[in-house]
Structure 1
């Protein structure tokens, strides 16, 4: 028995050709049509009707998906509901809707109402095609033709009209909901749609309680943070200000649940970042760095305040900002089945690269992150190591020459050689764009960043370049010495002779660490004192170092009132 005859026999046993009863069988039938020539369902009916029917339905489903997507914020929930809809509409069509169609006493108007559901429209069209295919096969006649659409018992014409009208309406509604969500509105307020047509609008009003708290916070700000706020206010009044990023009192509050208080993730952040500068955000976990970046890239809406990227408001102009923005998220967002090169082609096309410029940009990006040679770029991302995925994410963020780039801990998981290569890429990239970088590596911040901000509990504690911060908060040498435990008092006495204001910050099993104010001691005096002490004390090891950026970070973080309250 041939494969064609075997497959036809199986279909006849399931009564598929006779009743066209189940959408899943139709789908299976259509998939195997390419391999099984001569199936009546597709062969007998007019090809033109089938092409129009499937074309309209596919586009209706796309518009319907965009429309429904506006009601979901969770991908998992949307996936579950999607599967329930697909299989549920198929089962209901086979075991419920079919009986309404075949019942001549059931009102035809109600059938049209039920066919507004795209799944039922699909089932009704497949049912009609199946019936005509069966009749044509049994009586030796042709299946459904364009002339048959005039038959009163044929519902295909009504289906095509319903789906076409619904397709147009879904496109309009999907566009409307997309515009409403892009300005932070709700579906229930139709007037919010017209706000997207406005060029500018006033930021949301704050309550008197919030304004009072903001005033107190401004009064308590450090001098450099307050100065940055004044710079931002002056830039906002200057229509010719040429800044890549301006954050104006940006604030994010997550509402409390289950009786818990509201969480202030970002507390009135103000920042001005010119083109050609890399700004580093340092802070402990949970400080609000990722919340800040999420607002800047459009993932979440600010509770109050706003920010501008090359003069475009993040509340109103995100569609335009996206074309000039690159993002390297904290966690890699990659498709496991696509290759590295395919990822870059996809994102480069989104940045409107075409032809030879597209191919050159992709190859240059792969070379810059060492994913070009050895065919690595042609391998599926699912076979990449964690470091290779991280390098690909960085390449994606820089492709297409974006003017503003956000990098959230880009070097996480990289080996020293790859990390050093990444630093060279970032240093080269910041020449003609602004980069905002978050990191826990003080070495990385010192190498890459022109300016730093230490971020604790949603607000800046200090701003400045690495040298300024070390000079301001690290006006001391760190003196470490290891002796036998019983000689600790003598070492402490020695240190206090060098500097009466010396501060012991660490002591454990004979190892002590002291802060020596720079204005009290000279490096030569410390060396002479240690050499003289070696003749009477068993000094196993000692060292004198300048304050590091890590020391500054720890001191600033511990100096924050909120940090101390948590501790």
Structure 2
């Protein structure tokens, strides 16, 4: 396992930077003391209504009377009353004119007050928008806003007018004499909506680790995990090794995250407590990746799904920030770690608000909920790990045997079976080769009863959609202990599939297989088999970053070799394979043959009883091949060695038995001598003759000595004859006869014996004939069988002279451009991987914008908020709740107030009489009323602290309803608050879109590497070199690529930014700005694609597109940081230099100057010239990139370039 690459660390540090910037968007308020303050009375000049327009709708006779009475009150003296048609007209005017207030009547007793956002509090308590001032003693401090902004004056006046109109009794004295007191509070003001992006960034902070981990895990899982599992590796060991490694990285990154959030936001919390929260969340994210890697096949899909899970459930968890989520739902959603993590973060915000902070000391007290967050994150980590193990069992992928879904309920899974050689074996299973009859050689008597591997009617079918591939077709075979058995056959015959079945990498579709009486179909038996086999697959098996010796040690430990014996076993393998001289060399630096010997060594570790080798000597030099042969022959005693090979001489020399497989069927089994006898063993006489040779005379001469000789063929100067084996005694006489007939044109002659290769060709010829008869339509073979030599027609491979190029010059260039564009389009269309990457980036681009729109829509929909006492004060007969308290009454009347208590209780409010007469300290209740008597009527003082956001209007509503009920009315006055707020506000959208514009401009350079790096792929496959040799003009190649890549880049560019520009009033309303915008964006798309061409030309080691995407985004981010420093220095010429050095920054520079142009009123010519220069900068880059491409092509292809009609100039 290797350390995370630089790319991984840099990506994580970028998230730290983004998190710090998101913290900077939050308004900072220190923990402060809100002093006790008497606010005076409502009829005192706390609110000046002169010149303010009070609109109302609908305009009916009763609403007109109410508003007329309200305007005549002393609290609203000088206010202008205006009727409007409907609420939409009211909202339109309220958004355009600042000094306006709206009243929307639902009926005579229910209405909504609409104030400007700066004149009233946002009423939703969930946002906890706490008012504050830096200096409460200053005259400009208008806290509480409900008092000084006129909300209470309008509310009390309308309530008094409604009561008078409905009861014919005036309560003006009581209402206008209401006084207010702002109670002392010590807390930290906050507005929860400010923390949204900070929370989202914190939730996403581990996404880089998740992405890179998914790439590494799935790469190792595909290459090595199945093999290591077959060698005895436990699944839990594999996943725990990755978990332990990344736990260290997560711990380091969690320390950095914790230090950052403590510095920026959590000022009073302790480092260890917050660190543990981040660490447990990071660990849960890592285990979530494990679960996804067990479910999904590709790293891109796993990382994409992981990102979506984190983002979606992280966004859902924002509901905890605003609303109280039911506990069952909270625990259920907490099964997704982002939701559980965010509930803890929100609780820390609450603790920070009161200056308590989060630490282990208060974990079981104020921070008790965070203890449950710890438990939930630990539970999530364990759950994800168990699910990873479970899915790994039932969905092993291409290689591996899937377990049944309820495998853990079977006793055989938990208890290993004992070896039982006395198990009864069916007759067919004991002697499966009897089905082939004479095509199988009987084994010597000493091997009877030593059947180590029994295969009976093994079938393996691969299905993909409507296609079916039969790799094995009812194969039956016995393999004996003490023998070396070779599997022979053409490519795709089923040799590797058979070895995969025996090694446990694949499961047969039908049939049974046993190894030493252990059944491969039983899960418990398979675990026993793992301990006795050694596997060398077709591909090389090693950890690239480890040395040869370290690889052998690692696999020795995986196989379960005792620690004290590992070193000795490794040294033995090094010496046996003669690789001691490279034991300290990293595996990635080995040659192909050295890697192959290492794979053989890994298979032989631990002296396995069964060796399964798939083409073990492929790629080895002759000396190494003979060394391996000798080693296997020395090791054959007491063990089973089964190998496949394409070399007939290897099988002839090494194997005791050879099994020929063709098209999934076993054709014959036996020794070399048996096979050669069975399939036409003889000697081949080849005679080299001159033109004067007489064929008939020479044939008569050969048959004169050997009558059974047959003529087998001839070429121009060679004759071939087959000589039967039984006539070997006549060979000396034949040779003397040939030597004495040199006058017949015999130049020389030679004799050779039939080889296994001749047997193979004959068997394959018969198999091809049979296959033509048996082929079923719709059935596909994995690999085609090799054709006979006679089928090859050399003449068909020759180029025809009629195809000479007749088109030259510009017509040829246009033809080549068209062809390359067509090829590029088809490649891009068929490249699912690239299209998926583009789609993923597209989603990442648009997700924040979509989230912002959803949040704003939700905010607007929650704007109308009922000012109900039920949200603050405990209903009658109910138990106390965290959010509600009783209504505290201070009786200063000197008399009994039972009548008022009854009036309050009739509103379903629990009342409590205060024991103290005065209060100046912090109030634990949500609100209180101080009562006086004057002229036989009550006078009220409203006491509130700012944490109860709507306390003042709620208590005024309580007073109004008490007065209304005291006049024998059963009605109830209801009030809503709905500030003027609209998503259609152009200024708001200009601000929001400018923020997202910067975000998208930073990320867009990451798009082109995913579709414009075709040159690198063409170089890897050799297509570019072949095209160059074929006479393709370099300029035609690049133009053909650009005809597809540039339009695609521009489509992506315009589609992503078009939505934002359409919403920006400054752009959509100006034709000149729109023209410059389109021109600049088109040039930027061209320059980006050409830049990628230059990069791909010079990165022939084929760095992947993800890496270049990341690099370009980082370059753009660095250029933005540098430009912000330069901009503060006021040196625009430096920005031009920066744009020239960093082409990815040119569009950002254009929008920077465009913003300056917007802000200059009237538009200045200097700003306009800056914009024009920025617009045409990408075209200058494009011209420069074309010249650089020409220079590079000139360096690598002068001959072709001289004929190029474009690049030769």
TM bracket (short chain): 0.7 to 0.9
Determine if contact 2:283/2:381 at 8 Å carries over to the other structure: no
Q: CA deviation at 1:531?
A: 0.5
**Compared with structure 1, are the counterparts of its residues 555 and 218 closer, same or farther at alpha carbon in structure 2 (3 Å cutoff)?**
same
Aligned to 2:844: none
Distance 1:345 1:284, change over 3 A: same
Offset of residue 410 of structure 1: 0.8
Q: What is the aligned partner in structure 2 of residue 54 from structure 1?
A: 279
The alpha-carbon distance between structure 1 residues 451 and 119, as it changes in their structure 2 partners (threshold 3 A), is farther
Question: 1:328–1:407: 8 Å Cα contact kept in structure 2?
Answer: yes
The one-character-per-residue Cα deviations of 1:158-189 (angstroms, maximum 9, x if unpaired) are 333334444555566556556656896676x6
1:13 maps onto 2:21 in alignment: yes
Query: How far 1:224 moved relative to its partner?
Result: 4.1
Tell me whether 1:420 sits opposite 2:626 in the alignment. Answer: yes
How far 1:389 moved relative to its partner?
Answer: 1.0
Q: How many residues align?
A: 520
Secondary structure of the residue aligned to 2:599 is helix
Aligned-partner SS, 2:363: helix
2:724 corresponds to: 517
1:303 matched to 2:490: no
Q: How far apart, in 2, do the equivalents of 1:168 and 1:11 lie?
A: 28
Root-mean-square deviation (CA), in Å? 4.0
Q: Secondary structure at the match of 1:420?
A: helix
Deviation at 1:459, TM superposition (A): 2.0
Matched residue, 1:543: 750
CA offset digits 1:334-360 (Å, max 9, x no partner) = 332222222212211112123331011
Maintained 8 Å contact 1:225/1:460: no
- 8 A Cα contact 1:330 1:408, kept in partner: yes
Deviation at 1:11, TM superposition (A): 5.8
How far did residue 193 of structure 1 move?
5.1
Structure 2 counterparts to residues 307-318 of structure 1, below 5 A: 307-316=513-522, 317-318=525-526
Question: Residue 363 of structure 2 is aligned with which of 148, 156, 162?
Answer: 148
In the other structure, the counterpart of 1:3 is none
Distance 1:196 1:284, change over 3 A: same
Q: How does 1:76-225 map to 2 (within 5 A)?
A: 76=298, 79-92=299-312, 96-122=315-341, 124-125=343-344, 127=345, 131=349, 135=352, 143-145=358-360, 147-148=362-363, 150-151=365-366, 155-167=369-381, 169=383, 190=406, 194=410, 196=412, 221-225=436-440
Q: Is the CA contact (8 Å cut-off) linking 2:340 and 2:377 kept in structure 1?
A: yes
**Shift of the alpha carbon at 1:146?**
5.0
CA 1:118–1:493: 2 relative to 1, 3 Å: farther
2:497 aligned with 1:288: no
- The answer to whether residue 741 in structure 2 is matched with residue 533 in structure 1 is yes
State the Cα distance separating 1:14 from its structure 2 match: 3.5
SS of residue matched to 2:541: coil
Paired with 2:323 and 2:455, the residues of 1 have a C-alpha distance of 67
Alignment-derived partner of residue 666 in structure 2: 460
| 8 Å Cα contact 1:114/1:120 also seen in 2 | yes
Greater Cα shift, 452-461 or 502-511: 502-511
SS of alignment partner, residue 513 of structure 1: strand
C-alpha distance in structure 2 between counterparts of 1:338 and 1:458, whole Å:
38
Deviation at 1:265? 1.9
Change (3 A) 1:526 1:123: farther
Instruction: Check 1:495–1:457 CA distance in 2 against 1; reply closer, same or farther (3 A cut).
Output: farther
5+ residue gaps in structure 2? 1-14, 27-194, 209-249, 418-431, 774-784, 788-1209
Go from structure 1 to structure 2 and tell me whether the alpha carbon gap of 1:179 and 1:432 turns closer, same or farther (over 3 Å shift). same
Residue 534 of structure 2: aligned partner: 326
1:45, 1:132 within 8 Å by CA — same for their partners in 2?
no
> What does the per-residue CA deviation read over 1:229-266, in whole Å, with 9 as the maximum and x for residues that have no partner?
xx9xx98xxxxx553222222222234753x5x43322
- Name the TM-score, length of structure 1 as normaliser: 0.79
Alignment of 1:328-347 (within 5 A): 328-347=536-555
Deviations 1:515-547 (A, max 9, x none): 11122452212211210222x133333111222
1:401 shift after superposition: 1.4
Q: 1:468 to 1:227 in 2, by over 3 A?
A: closer
1:64-79 equivalence runs, <5 A:
68=292, 71-72=295-296, 74=297, 76=298, 79=299
CA distance in structure 2 between the aligned counterparts of 1:273 and 1:251, rounded to whole angstroms: 18
